[in-house]
Amino acid sequence: MTHSHQIRVRYAECDRMGFVHHSIYALYFEEARTEILRNRGISYKDLEDDGILMPVRSMQFTFMKAGKYDDLLTIEVNLAAPPEVRCKFEYKTFNQNGELLNTGETELFFVRKSDLRPIKLPEQYKTFLTI
Amino acid sequence: MTHSHQIRVRYAECDRMGFVHHSIYALYFEEARTEILRNRGISYKDLEDDGILMPVRSMQFTFMKAGKYDDLLTIEVNLAAPPEVRCKFEYKTFNQNGELLNTGETELFFVRKSDLRPIKLPEQYKTFLTI
Amino acid sequence: MTHSHQIRVRYAECDRMGFVHHSIYALYFEEARTEILRNRGISYKDLEDDGILMPVRSMQFTFMKAGKYDDLLTIEVNLAAPPEVRCKFEYKTFNQNGELLNTGETELFFVRKSDLRPIKLPEQYKTFLTI
Amino acid sequence: MTHSHQIRVRYAECDRMGFVHHSIYALYFEEARTEILRNRGISYKDLEDDGILMPVRSMQFTFMKAGKYDDLLTIEVNLAAPPEVRCKFEYKTFNQNGELLNTGETELFFVRKSDLRPIKLPEQYKTFLTI
């Protein structure tokens, strides 16, 4: 199931080429997957308050076209596999003209906050994270 | 006593005017005051590990000239008053041509990490923070 | 005339105290004043495309209370004086509980993009920027 | 040929887990590859002033261990292939204890600033970019 999230590009997020700096998409994708979780009934903040952290294990972005200042971007997020020990999200960024700017994927894992040890996602959260 | 610290401007820190974004100087000044503390024998990290936080109470920057990509900046930091409940640092940023780019000041206070209540700086740190 | 703008705090915008880093408010205020301009019929992007830049001359923030991850902040922006050579905005940040987190002001000036010389704001824009 | 570059982790670069935010490594790697270029006699700034831009085509990071506030990181950069139309850099990040924190690779391409069209790297730069 795909979720869409809109983000307006900030001035400080563009570099001197006038393009959204490539590092910024990591922030956009994080915001977008937080909103897909919220949309499914999970606040990532609550997850952390429950003692579960979700560090990023890997990320991979491919850039086709530059985002620009003041663009109104649409990020499509897709949960790529049912989460067990890891959780994989896929992203596509479109600008206001419907042009595909880039694609990305990030793999996150679950960690117990108290001792930073990897854990499986507890059952009560899994129901929210079906594909 | 003034301390000098050098910082090379990163690509992503410049906006589409080609100038260092004004928000970035807050990061530069933070790095510079951390180094003045280190230079005086206090690691800010150790301070936090000892249970003392130093949130920023106020900041005030005046920009005369823009910093640019790849500039090698010199930040001069000055401890403006002996720290009690608060601690005031003053900054001047120069580029590699000796031009004054901006001035700033930040006021920080001391907070006990356990309950986030303001405290006086413990005596053992004060000796490091004479003017 | 005051304009309100909402911003959700991103994960990466919080530091290891769990608080919105003080530098980030410069980005929030920039986003908020861009939206007040858009609301009044001026796109800051169009202004730049017309050859007018608005660098920040000074900024001054006072922090009363920390913003936190996932907070839904309301930024109130106020144009403090009719723009001539400079343009002054005032800001107040509230969290979702209506608590005042901080206040700020930024002074911007107008610059001709072609030669980076200060100019007065052209008449056709002034009508949008009455107090 | 591998080049090493040291970076001290800034306070604002750490998130509320206390870890360097994953987006920040894109900045670290950019700084590191700029320094490898400088070391070989090319200033990336001069390259841009000569009308050549190097946008990022793709990036791929794998995180093994978290970087922390005040860590003194060593970034090893390696030019993976002789640049033609594209240019691939590989990175490894170590902390002050010699622990491997993550690996990364970024692929950049060359673009003519005037019309943003992809170009081959001009011959005069190639000699600096042998493996």
Q: With H, G, I as helix, E, B as strand and everything else as coil, classify residue C65.
A: coil
Taking an 8 Å cut-off on Cβ atoms, the answer to whether D17 and A53 are in contact is yes
Q: What is the model's pLDDT at position D30?
A: 97
Q: Give the β-pairing of A72-79 and A2-8.
A: antiparallel
Provide the sign of the torsion angle of the four alpha carbons D115, D117, D123, D124, taken in this order: positive
- CB contacts < 8 Å between A and C, how many? 30
Q: Give the β-pairing of C86-94 and B2-8.
A: unpaired
Q: What is the model's pLDDT at position D1?
A: 64
pLDDT in tens, chain A (131 residues): 689 999 999 999 999 888 999 999 999 999 999 998 898 888 999 999 999 999 999 999 999 999 999 999 999 999 988 788 899 999 999 999 999 999 999 999 999 999 999 999 888 888 777 76
Q: What is the model's pLDDT at position B125?
A: 86
Answer with the residue of higher pLDDT: D1 or C48.
Answer: C48
Indicate whether C91 pLDDT > 90: yes
Phi, psi of B112 (to 5 degrees): -75, 125
Element (H, E) at D110: strand D100-112
Per-residue b or e along D53-78, where b marks 16 or more CB atoms closer than 10 Å to that residue's CB: bbbbbbbbbebeebbbbbbebbbbbb
Q: What is the model's pLDDT at position A1?
A: 64
HSE, side-chain direction, 13 A CA sphere, residue D74: 11
Please report, rounded to a whole number, the percentage of residues in chain C having pLDDT higher than 70.
Answer: 98
Indicate whether C31 pLDDT > 70: yes
The two tokens of residue C47 are 């202004």
| C81 min Cα distance to partner chain B (Å) | 19
Phi, psi of D40 (to 5 degrees): -95, 5
Place of tokens 């979780």: A37
| A61 in contact with chain D, both atoms CB, cutoff 8 A | yes
Calculate mean pLDDT across residues C95-106.
98
Residue of D nearest to A114 (CA): D17
CA A131 from centroid of its chain's CA atoms:
15
Asked if residue C68 lies in contact with residue C20, where contact means CB atoms within 8 angstroms, the answer is: yes
| D12 in contact with chain A, both atoms CB, cutoff 8 A | no
Q: Under 8 Å CB-to-CB from D23, ≥6 apart: which residues?
A: A23, A24, A26, A27, A30, C12
Q: Under 8 Å CB-to-CB from C125, ≥6 apart: which residues?
A: C42, C47, C52
Selected for mutation to probe chain D from A13, A54, A61 (highest D CB count within 10 Å) is A61
Residue range B31-67, pLDDT digits in tens: 999 998 998 888 999 999 999 999 999 999 999 999 9
pTM of this structure: 0.96
| C76 in contact with chain A, both atoms CB, cutoff 8 A | no
Asked if residue C42 lies in contact with residue C79, where contact means CB atoms within 8 angstroms, the answer is: no
Q: Give the β-pairing of A100-112 and A117-119.
A: antiparallel
Indicate whether B127 pLDDT > 70: yes
Per-residue b or e along C93-110, where b marks 16 or more CB atoms closer than 10 Å to that residue's CB: bbbeeeeebbbbbbbbbb
Selected for mutation to probe chain B from A16, A17, A23 (highest B CB count within 10 Å) is A16
Q: What is the model's pLDDT at position D126?
A: 82
Indicate whether B24 pLDDT > 80: yes
Residue range B74-107, pLDDT digits in tens: 999 999 887 888 999 999 999 999 999 999 999 9
| A17 in contact with chain B, both atoms CB, cutoff 8 A | yes
Chains that touch C (3 or more CB pairs under 8 A): A, B, D
The two tokens of residue C105 are 């002001």
| D23 in contact with chain C, both atoms CB, cutoff 8 A | yes
Residue of C nearest to A12 (CA): C27
Asked if residue D41 lies in contact with residue C50, where contact means CB atoms within 8 angstroms, the answer is: no
DSSP state at residue A83 = -
The two tokens of residue B98 are 């000796």
Q: How far apart are CA B127 and CA B42, in angstroms?
A: 10
Indicate whether C1 pLDDT > 80: no
Of B1-5, B71-75, C6-10, D27-31, minimum mean pLDDT range: B1-5
Indicate whether C40 pLDDT > 90: no
| D131 in contact with chain C, both atoms CB, cutoff 8 A | no
Domains of chain D: 2-129 (3.10.129.10)
Please report, rounded to a whole number, the percentage of residues in chain D having pLDDT higher than 70.
Answer: 98
Residue of D nearest to C17 (CA): D16
Taking an 8 Å cut-off on Cβ atoms, the answer to whether B63 and C57 are in contact is yes
The secondary structure of C5-53, three-state, reads EEEECCHHHECCCCEECCCHHHHHHHHHHHHHHHHCCCCHHHHHHCCEE
H-assigned helices in chain D: 24-39, 44-49, 123-126
Q: How far apart are CA A67 and CA A95, in angstroms?
A: 7
| C23 min Cα distance to partner chain D (Å) | 8
- For chain D, give the number of residues: 131
Q: How far apart are CA C36 and CA C58, in angstroms?
A: 19
Q: What is the model's pLDDT at position D97?
A: 98
Give the one of A19, A30, A57 whose C-beta lies nearest to D55's C-beta.
Answer: A19
| C16 in contact with chain D, both atoms CB, cutoff 8 A | yes
Residue range D4-20, pLDDT digits in tens: 999 999 999 999 888 99
Calculate mean pLDDT across residues D99-107.
98
Q: What is the model's pLDDT at position B5?
A: 97
